[in-house]
Amino acid sequence: MKNNYNLRSIAAQAIGQVLDQGQSLSTILPSLQKNISDKDRALLQELCFGALRVLPQLEWCIQQLMAKPMVGKQRTLHYLLMVGMYQLLYTRIPAHAALAETVNGAVALKRPQLKGLINGVLRQFQRQQDQLLQRAANNDSRYLHPSWLLKRIQQAYPEQWEHIVEANNQKPPMWLRVNRLHHTRDEYLKLMEQAGIAAAPHAEYRDALRLLSPCTVNELPGFAEGWVTVQDASAQGCVDLLDPQDGEQILDLCAAPGGKTTHILEAAPKAHVMAVDIDEQRLSRVNENLQRLRFSAEVKQGDGRTPQQWCGDKQFDRILLDAPCSATGVIRRHPDIKWLRRDRDIAELASLQAEIMDAIWPHLKPGGVMVYATCSILPQENNEQVLAFLQRHADAQRVETGKQHQPGRQNLPHPEDGDGFFYAKLIKL
């Protein structure tokens, strides 16, 4: 493929789509990556994710260096400056190459007359970099979070908030889930050692391994054969808690992209699993995951608030509800979440979660188990949500999985552990 594109201008446009149009990087990047070379795909991802991870720092530096912000049609050039600064600060790209490519980005964005401006600001940044960073370290931009979210984290975790924020700002560890139908975790660990890949087992989740340094999936022994799946450790905890059994009718609700669906089938290959999600496009990922691991499940498009439409009066032995949420526990994997979410979203999401829980509960058999899970760290979506549900449903009983005075278990993001995740296990009386 001939390299006739400017990667920095593509990154600037992608960042603009996130910040100005509210689109997520996971939606934007796949189509952009189709048109660029293999080696540039990873760099595009690094530039976009990286710039959004440290956005307040880059914004603050630009404010110090420019008399007035670039607005309107020139806004993409503002994002191009961010991409340039990010490279100078956080990548090993030689400074001269980073500058030249970023300045050429102005031409690719059909603003050749602004090449001089981009060059001037970036060179000034190079000269003043140390002083600027020192000053930035003494204002709120150093937390790299929007103020509303920082406030919520501080209120919920007065003693741990700094650790949470720090973990959110780091690159995420790469976790694997070993398919127990092929190998035990220890057996697979030996295969990894033979392949020269260093990994460590999770202390609690039985299938989870953390790579000491990330690699591509093609390097993993037996990836194509379904021996292993890339999945965060905390996400794996859902299925350990659900404890699916062969022969049972199990519902995985809000199932896309299918990591938990396939984990259920690894744990109970003879279970009858229905995987449901509202997003038809994302359901194709569920089918891809099932195919790679050679499993079959009943995959349906449907709204969790209206289960009669997709399962009639059917009842299930177990239900895993990985509810739509703020995703504040997975910010390190998806730094654009910080800029896509708004404070008002939390109440709206909590209301949607309650609606889905109430709608699906009648479809759980008496004696059945429901695991409610979110990748959020906010109490409104988690323990407060479950407490309110227990008050509304006299036939629901919680199974202790965390502190006695709180329903459920809250994992917080940690550099050497899983993402922020909440689970609560409920039994129907």
Write the pLDDT tens digit of every residue in 86-98. Answer: 999 999 999 999 9
238 carries an active-site annotation: no
- Place 407 in a pLDDT band, splitting at 50, 70 and 90: confident
* Burial 140-165, CB ≥16 within 10 A → b, else e: ebbbbbbeebbebbeebbeeebeebb
Q: How far is CA 224 from the centre of its chain?
A: 23
Q: Where do we find the tokens 């708004």?
A: 342
pLDDT over 70 (residue 213) = yes
pLDDT over 70 (residue 402) = no
| 104 contacts: CB under 8 Å, gap ≥ 6 | 6, 8, 115
- Place 25 in a pLDDT band, splitting at 50, 70 and 90: very high
Q: Which of 284, 235, 285, 232 is nearest to 264 (CA)?
A: 235
Query: Which secondary-structure segment (H or E) carries 298?
Result: strand 298-301
- Place 69 in a pLDDT band, splitting at 50, 70 and 90: confident
CA 272, CA 297: separation in Å to the nearest integer?
Answer: 7
Residue 212 and residue 267 in contact, taking contact as beta carbons nearer than 8 Å: no
Max CA pair span of the chain: 71
Average confidence (pLDDT) over 103-108: 97
Residue 165 and residue 145 in contact, taking contact as beta carbons nearer than 8 Å: yes
Average confidence (pLDDT) over 153-161: 98
Residue 366 and residue 404 in contact, taking contact as beta carbons nearer than 8 Å: no
Q: In sequence order, which ranges of 268-379 are alpha helices (DSSP H)?
A: 280-292, 308-311, 337-340, 345-360
Distances, alpha carbon 172 to alpha carbons 49, 86, 212, 235, in Å: 12, 18, 11, 14
Alpha-carbon Rg of the chain, whole angstroms?
23
Could you tell me the two tokens for 136?
């930035």
- Place 38 in a pLDDT band, splitting at 50, 70 and 90: confident
Q: Which of 48, 61, 254, 375 is catalytic?
A: 375
pLDDT over 50 (residue 1) = no
Could you tell me the two tokens for 95?
């400074």
Q: Hey, CA dihedral for 17, 21, 23, 27, is it positive or negative?
A: negative
Question: What are 289-339's pLDDT values in tens digits?
Answer: 999 999 999 999 999 999 999 999 999 999 999 999 999 999 999 999 999
Q: Helix (H, G, I), strand (E, B), or coil: what is residue 264?
A: helix
* Burial 234-265, CB ≥16 within 10 A → b, else e: bbbbbbbbbebeeebbbbbbbbbbbbbbbbbb
- Report the mean per-residue pLDDT for the chain: 96
Write down the pLDDT at residue 49.
98
Average confidence (pLDDT) over 79-87: 98
Residue 372 and residue 428 in contact, taking contact as beta carbons nearer than 8 Å: no
pLDDT over 80 (residue 3) = no
Q: Helix (H, G, I), strand (E, B), or coil: what is residue 428?
A: strand
Write down the pLDDT at residue 405.
67
Q: Helix (H, G, I), strand (E, B), or coil: what is residue 372?
A: strand
Q: Where are the beta strands (DSSP E) in 162-207?
A: 174-178, 199-201
Could you tell me the two tokens for 29?
């990047």
CA 141, CA 132: separation in Å to the nearest integer?
Answer: 12
Could you tell me the two tokens for 266?
């690894």
pLDDT over 50 (residue 397) = yes
Amino acid symbol at 118: I
pLDDT over 70 (residue 403) = no
CA 182, CA 266: separation in Å to the nearest integer?
Answer: 9
Q: Where are the beta strands (DSSP E) in 193-267?
A: 199-201, 208-211, 228-230, 249-253
Write down the pLDDT at residue 39.
87
| 68 contacts: CB under 8 Å, gap ≥ 6 | none
Average confidence (pLDDT) over 259-284: 97
Q: Helix (H, G, I), strand (E, B), or coil: what is residue 241?
A: helix
CA 5, CA 110: separation in Å to the nearest integer?
Answer: 13
Query: Got the DSSP string for 315-332?
Result: -EEEEEEE-----TT-TT
* Helices and strands (H, E) in the chain, number of each type: 17, 12
